């Protein structure tokens, strides 16, 4: 697997709407595996394909994994990350078909906005229709952190970033900090 380069704000690509995937094949599966590898390496719990420069309606997430340094046996400089409790999930052409009226707030971060975090309110529960890793149609309901994560990533596919869901002042502060560190 290879690490993919992250697209960092304020790159205009992050405001683009991703196109539907036409077919699922081994190349797409390899790309999704690379997305998961990149997400783990960067310490994220979700990643949309636009965040690695591909305008296709694909996202991956795993809210369960943990970094494990107790099994590091390659030597100090091997560069490999080791993880446990991995449960990657793959979503192709995801679409929210139902949202709860109940709202929850979570302090969100984003790999495309390094170091930035802000409180975002979203529906507490969502039902999503999508194709899985093999191209099979699925419908699943999510709540809690999983609901927040999938909504955050679907927003990316629609050209919406989490900073678009906070006040203009907070958004401006975050973008100034990111530009300063670039």
Name the residue among 62, 30, 52 with its Cα closest to residue 133.
Answer: 30
Catalytic residue among 42, 119, 125, 153: 153
With contact defined as beta carbons under 8 Å apart, do 155 and 112 qualify?
no
Active site residue 153: yes
Please calculate the CA angle 131-133-136 and round it to the nearest 5 degrees: 40
Tokens of 69: 């340094």
3-state helix, strand, coil in the chain (%, to 5): 30, 30, 35
Q: Determine whether 80 is exposed, middle or buried from the number of CB atoms within 10 Å of its CB (0-12, 13-18, 19+).
A: exposed
Structure tokens at 21: 């995937």
Measured between alpha carbons, how far is 134 from 136 in angstroms, rounded to an integer? Answer: 6
The answer to whether the beta carbons of residues 21 and 28 sit under 8 Å apart is: yes
Query: What tokens appear for 123 in the block?
Result: 């529906």
User: Which residues are tagged catalytic?
Assistant: 153
């Amino acid at each position: 697997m290879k690490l993919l380069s992250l697209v960092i704000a304020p790159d205009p690509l992050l405001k683009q709407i991703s196109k539907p995937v036409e077919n699922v094949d081994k190349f797409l599966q390899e790309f999704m595996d690379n997305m998961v590898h990149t997400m783990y390496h960067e310490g994220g719990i979700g990643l949309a394909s636009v965040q690695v420069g591909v305008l296709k309606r694909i996202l991956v997430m795993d809210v369960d994994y943990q970094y494990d340094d107790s099994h590091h046996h390659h030597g100090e400089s091997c560069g490999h990350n080791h993880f446990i409790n991995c449960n990657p999930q793959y979503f192709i052409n995801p679409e929210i078909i139902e949202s709860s009226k109940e709202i929850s707030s979570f302090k969100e971060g984003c790999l495309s906005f390094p170091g930035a975090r802000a409180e975002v309110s979203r529906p507490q529960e969502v039902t999503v229709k999508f194709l899985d890793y093999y191209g099979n149609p699925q419908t699943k309901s999510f709540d809690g952190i999983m609901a927040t994560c999938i909504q955050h990533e679907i927003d990316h596919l629609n050209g919406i970033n989490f900073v678009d869901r906070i006040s203009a002042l907070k958004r401006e502060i975050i973008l100034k900090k990111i530009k300063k560190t670039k």
